[in-house]
Amino acid sequence: MGETQVHASAALLIEHSSEPGSQFCISWDTVIFKVEDGLFRVPLHGFIQSSDVFAAMFSLPKGDESKQEDGTEGHSAANPIVLEGYLKEDFLALLKVLYPMFSDVMAGRFKMTKTEWISALKLSTVWGIHEIRQWAIKELSSSVSALTSLEKIEYGRAHKVSKWLVEGISAIVIEDGPEGLSARDLARKVGIETAYQIMTIRACRLGIPGLSVHGGGPHLSGNIGLIQCPSCSSTFFGDAPCWGCKRNVSVTDGSINVFFPTAPELRGDSNGDVKAWVKIDPSGMKCVKCAKHPPQPSHPPCSACGYIPPNDTAVLGGATGEGFIDRMVREAFKEEIDEYEMAGDIHVES
């Protein structure tokens, strides 16, 4: 297969000149990369200035050029710097944004396709070109290059963009219904574990509002204030310290402080309403921090009316509220989101 040589335009490197009557001289400091079967002769400064990876590469001591048949690596087409494992179309997209045409920039005509921005994002993430990565995320987050929900999950994970992961999963949760993906299709698209988490959040949203997903099981979890007395419908528990870890288990702060090892049971009442019932004994409700039963005694009475449920069961209530799905998604995928943010995830304003 024949090789293709590509030249990119760029600003020139200006140096002082020692010649009489001349203040500056202009020089081209270029490097030749090989990607697949293509040769790319490009200005070196763009890679060094924008990428710590390439800055470190080109700061390494050079060997004895006299002992190299084709000179220093990257200085000739016979001895290019080979970038293994990358695609030409991705590299071309990166060059397009790294060295844009002057006329396009001046006229405000610089444009990239959605596919090109994805390519630029891919390589800028790998090579630590932070400004281009941020630019690509911003462009792909716009309505012009809008990503689908599944694309946000795919590219969010591939390129460590937590914002897209949360948005994509949240959108799929909301898309439940005739237009939404079935559980089987969802598992094929995003994986079994992610599909299970999404279906669990859907169940919380549609049937048991106010709950989240506790990653240890995964189990349903929420604030202890969601538990209502089956007799008087008041909040069953009051604020009290957990008897295991002694931290305050608040019914009013909205924090996720208890989880339910046993799934809630849906039961209809005499009015035809369906309610979710949970066990509130030590086997059915535990502190999210220490996994102990927060209240004492083992068969607690209602803090409002003193009623003691005969089967240690109470009703789950509460309302979704603004940001409910976002909060549930962040709780369910917390480890993954934290990993992306620790790896230098860039926050882009929507």
Give domain status of residue 311, yes or no: yes
Instruction: Provide the number of structural domains found in the chain.
Output: 2
Strand duo 274-279 + 265-268: pairing:
antiparallel
- Measure Cα distances from 125 to 95, 112, 119, 132, 337 in Å: 14, 18, 10, 9, 16
pLDDT at 73: 85
Specify whether the CB–CB gap between 328 and 197 falls below 8 A: no
Tell me how far apart the alpha carbons of residues 198 and 320 are, in angstroms, rounded to a whole number: 16
Same-domain check for residues 129 and 37: yes
Same-domain check for residues 117 and 222: no
Same-domain check for residues 131 and 231: no
Lowest mean pLDDT: which of 53-62, 129-138, 164-173, 337-346? 337-346
Tell me how far apart the alpha carbons of residues 211 and 203 are, in angstroms, rounded to a whole number: 9
* 22: CATH: 3.30.710.10
pLDDT at 113: 93
Q: What is the pLDDT of residues 224-270, one digit of tens each?
A: 888 889 888 888 988 888 988 999 998 877 788 898 887 777 665 55
Share the mean pLDDT of the chain.
Answer: 79
Neighbours of 98 (CB within 10 A): 22
* Residue 124 tokens, joined: 């800028």
Specify whether the CB–CB gap between 158 and 119 falls below 8 A: no
Give domain status of residue 186, yes or no: no
pLDDT at residue 4 greater than cutoff 60: no
- Measure Cα distances from 274 to 173, 266, 277 in Å: 22, 6, 10
Domain interval for residue 14:
4-146
pTM of the model: 0.61
pLDDT at 256: 86
Residue 223 is classified by DSSP as: -
Domain end call among 130, 146, 162: 146
Give domain status of residue 162, yes or no: no
Same-domain check for residues 216 and 142: no
Residue 174 phi, psi dihedral angles, 5° rounding: -70, -30
Q: CB-based burial of residue 125 (10 Å sphere; 0-12 exposed, 13-18 middle, 19+ buried)?
A: buried
Neighbours of 208 (CB within 10 A): 20
- Residues near 6 by beta carbon (within 8 Å), at least 6 away in sequence: 38, 39, 40, 41, 42, 92, 95
- Measure Cα distances from 82 to 35, 77, 97, 119, 126 in Å: 6, 11, 21, 18, 16
Which residue's structure tokens are 């716009």?
A: 142
Give domain status of residue 131, yes or no: yes
Tell me how far apart the alpha carbons of residues 214 and 261 are, in angstroms, rounded to a whole number: 10
Give domain status of residue 136, yes or no: yes
Rounded mean pLDDT, 5-24: 46
Sheet containing strand 212-214, edge to edge, reads: 212-214, 219-222, 258-260, 286-287
The angle that helices 324-332 and 334-342 make with each other, rounded to 10 degrees, is 80
Tell me how far apart the alpha carbons of residues 14 and 30 are, in angstroms, rounded to a whole number: 13
Which residue's structure tokens are 């538990």?
A: 227
Domain end call among 92, 112, 146: 146
Length of the chain, in residues? 350
Choose between 181 and 130: higher pLDDT: 130
Q: What is the pLDDT of residues 168-222, one digit of tens each?
A: 998 888 775 545 677 788 889 999 899 888 877 776 665 555 556 555 556 778 8
